[in-house]
Structure 1
């Protein structure tokens, strides 16, 4: 009796379970079912900057994009908008940005330079975007430099 049960189990295993396992293995290897993740949210890390600025003064802003994963085809861009005061923002030694225009970023670590052109409080936002639609906004606010803040 034991022999018959073992034989039936082996027969069931050979005729049903092995073919199902092979079919599942083949299906899992089909090219159409492969999913490659290309969309990774990211964070923007900004080193601390001073709170006060004088007219004509330039402040360096060090930034780093920290992606949640790695995809070779990801590209990043930056744009900015000044909501208060007057100033100019540029990337390294490039010309100043035009507000709300997009500029490509070639590196994940970069330095921005903001130059004050007024003696009042100043505020601007930068948006970092990738080609997958992810965005991060960073706000900067500077108060005018006065005798009491030196």
Structure 2
């Protein structure tokens, strides 16, 4: 009887993990920026595992101030998703405002996992 129980509860399917948590690391970013200046944001996406079908996208929103965010020469439109082709990438933010500027960057995988980065820039007064 015990042998019958063991045989009926065994499952021959292999459980393959396809979703892995990830995080985004950045190098330090300056806090002050003047109108027309560009700040570089170096990013590294680190996943706790590797699944070949995982794809990542990036988007941003600017709740305060005015500026533009670029990746590989492409100027981002707020809240539009753009594919990330590499796990190591550099973003470039150019100030278009003398006010305080805040940008929120969202990196999402095709499994619905999301990481948010926020950057706060104060106006640098030029002499």
* TM-score exceeds 0.5: yes
Give the superposition deviation at 1:84: 0.6
Matched, 1:103 2:59: no
Structure 2: which 5+ runs fail to align? none
TM value normalised by structure 1: 0.77
Of structures 1 and 2, the larger Rg is shown by: 1
| Equivalent runs, 1:50-129 vs 2, <5 Å | 50-94=30-74, 96-129=75-108
Matched, 1:146 2:117: no
Give the superposition deviation at 1:146: 1.9
Q: Write the distance in 1 (CA, Å) between the matches of 2:119 and 2:72.
A: 18
Aligned residues: 124
User: Which digits, 9 at most, give the CA deviation of each residue in 1:88-111, with x for residues without a partner?
Assistant: 0010222x1010011000000000
User: Which digits, 9 at most, give the CA deviation of each residue in 1:49-94, with x for residues without a partner?
Assistant: 1110000001110001000111111100000000110000010222
Q: Write the distance in 1 (CA, Å) between the matches of 2:113 and 2:47.
A: 10
Q: Write the distance in 1 (CA, Å) between the matches of 2:103 and 2:57.
A: 17
Structure ranking higher in helix proportion: 1
Q: Which structure is higher in RCO with an 8 Å CA cutoff and minimum separation 6? A: 2
Structure 1: which 5+ runs fail to align? 1-15
Helix, strand or coil for the counterpart of 1:142?
A: strand
Q: Write the distance in 2 (CA, Å) between the matches of 1:146 and 1:103.
A: 33
RMSD: 1.9
Structure ranking higher in strand proportion: 2
Query: After TM superposition, where is structure 1 displaced by more than 4 Å over at least 4 residues in a row?
Result: none
User: Which digits, 9 at most, give the CA deviation of each residue in 1:105-135, with x for residues without a partner?
Assistant: 0000000000000111100100000011110
